[in-house]
Amino acid sequence: MDVQKKRIAIDMDEVMADTVGKLLRCYNRDYDDCITMADLRGKKLRHVAKCGLEVYRYFDDPAFLRDLDVMPDSQEVIRALQDRYEVFVASAAMEVPASFAAKYEWLREHFPFIPPSHIVFCGDKSIINADYLIDDHTYQFARFRGQGILFTAAHNVEETGYPRVDNWREVAELFLK
Amino acid sequence: MDVQKKRIAIDMDEVMADTVGKLLRCYNRDYDDCITMADLRGKKLRHVAKCGLEVYRYFDDPAFLRDLDVMPDSQEVIRALQDRYEVFVASAAMEVPASFAAKYEWLREHFPFIPPSHIVFCGDKSIINADYLIDDHTYQFARFRGQGILFTAAHNVEETGYPRVDNWREVAELFLK
């Protein structure tokens, strides 16, 4: 009998892609500041940056998203997950419509083993039909039908209530042991 | 008690947007042909067009998708559905990555009452967590967790096995009576 694989949906920004790392580098350079990841613990960048909400204007430039670093170990762990799970990428791209194409190209370059049919751009992730959602935002778990797995990011270190993974090695521990 | 609304996901091409109508006009003009909608009954355009698969090259031009006609009655019926259901748009945009932005802009122009959070670009619609999916492609229903509703298009007139609606008035009959 063909047993249906369980399905894992994976967020992109700050889970597969080091979005905030690049944002911080660009911000520090352009605003002559020296905010570190440690400064962001439990906080949003907009509350720490000199320019406030303006700091997110970087996302309006598709080129910004095109060359983000890949999160350590994410490629090999996701490749291994595919043997035992059905893996989808679920990115909340609707917040920044200009980002669609750049996000898609980035995924195709760094994760060519994830077929386009398994990439989803959405807003509210309650629309995702999966057993697990690995995400750095707990608000996406509220109406999600499966189990949310919180991927540690500076802004969420104080949040509780969901299983937490600090990195991709811990994702492997959780799903592949 | 707050009763959760049932959720309807709606396909875009040939359900909300008259994609094939424009494709046919462009093809007939450029290839000096006179294929009608009636000629397409039970067939794919690629099997009837002089240029075969090439006919889908029109989709590679984002401008092509930007000014599609809205399907008759779709705006008012979807607006009415929102009072009783949670409505999402689910478009298989991953087949043509260049189409993301144009599709998004088209939706915002013609269906501004559908929030961006409720727009999904995906490939395999089995990832959609909804109670109903209104779509013109039965292959999207195979693994869909809810009930597929087949929206009549020339290519699907001979397909059986799913409840069928011929137009948006019939969608209203089905969901709002």
pLDDT digits (tens, 9 = 90+) for B139-162: 999 999 999 999 999 999 999 999
Say if CB A68 and CB A22 are below 8 A apart: yes
Spatial distance between the Cα atoms of A115 and A119, rounded to a whole number of angstroms:
7
Say if CB A157 and CB B149 are below 8 A apart: no
Which helix or strand (DSSP H or E) is residue B90 part of? strand B85-91
* Chain A partners within 8 Å of B87 (Cβ): none
How high is the pLDDT of residue A1?
Answer: 46
pLDDT band at B95 (very low <50, low <70, confident <90, very high): confident
CB contact under 8 A, B129 and A124: no
Spatial distance between the Cα atoms of A95 and A114, rounded to a whole number of angstroms:
23
* Chain A partners within 8 Å of B129 (Cβ): 126-129, 145
Residues A77-90, mean pLDDT to the nearest whole number: 98
Catalytic residue among A13, A18, A135, A136: A13
pLDDT digits (tens, 9 = 90+) for A102-154: 999 999 999 999 999 999 999 999 999 999 999 999 999 999 999 999 999 99
* pLDDT of A46 over the 60 cut: yes
Strand arrangement of the beta sheet that strand B6-10 belongs to:
A164-165, A147-151, A132-135, A6-10, A85-91, A119-121, B119-121, B85-91, B6-10, B132-135, B147-151, B164-165
* pLDDT of A98 over the 70 cut: yes
How high is the pLDDT of residue A2?
Answer: 53
Q: Write down the pTM of the prediction.
A: 0.93
Bridge partner residues of B9 (DSSP): B88, B133
DSSP H helices in A49-147:
62-66, 74-84, 100-110
Determine the 3-state secondary structure of A12 from DSSP. Answer: coil
Q: What is the maximum span of chain B, computed from C-alpha positions, in angstroms?
A: 61
- B interface mutation test: which of A129, A141, A144 has the most B CBs within 10 A? A129
Instruction: Name the token pair of B61.
Output: 């031009």
For residue A37, how many other CB atoms are within 10 A of its CB? 11
Determine the 3-state secondary structure of B13 from DSSP. Answer: strand
Taking CA atoms, B130 is separated from A84, A144, B88, B112, in Å, by 25, 12, 9, 21
pLDDT digits (tens, 9 = 90+) for A158-172: 999 999 999 999 999
* pLDDT of A97 over the 80 cut: no
* Chain A partners within 8 Å of B127 (Cβ): 7, 9, 88, 90, 118, 120, 128-130
How high is the pLDDT of residue B175?
Answer: 98
How high is the pLDDT of residue B1?
Answer: 47
Bridge partner residues of A7 (DSSP): A86
Spatial distance between the Cα atoms of A159 and B167, rounded to a whole number of angstroms:
48
* pLDDT of B128 over the 90 cut: yes
* pLDDT of B107 over the 70 cut: yes
pLDDT digits (tens, 9 = 90+) for B43-94: 889 999 999 999 999 988 888 988 899 999 999 999 999 999 999 999 998 8
Spatial distance between the Cα atoms of A128 and A144, rounded to a whole number of angstroms:
7
CB contact under 8 A, A100 and B100: yes
How high is the pLDDT of residue B157?
Answer: 94
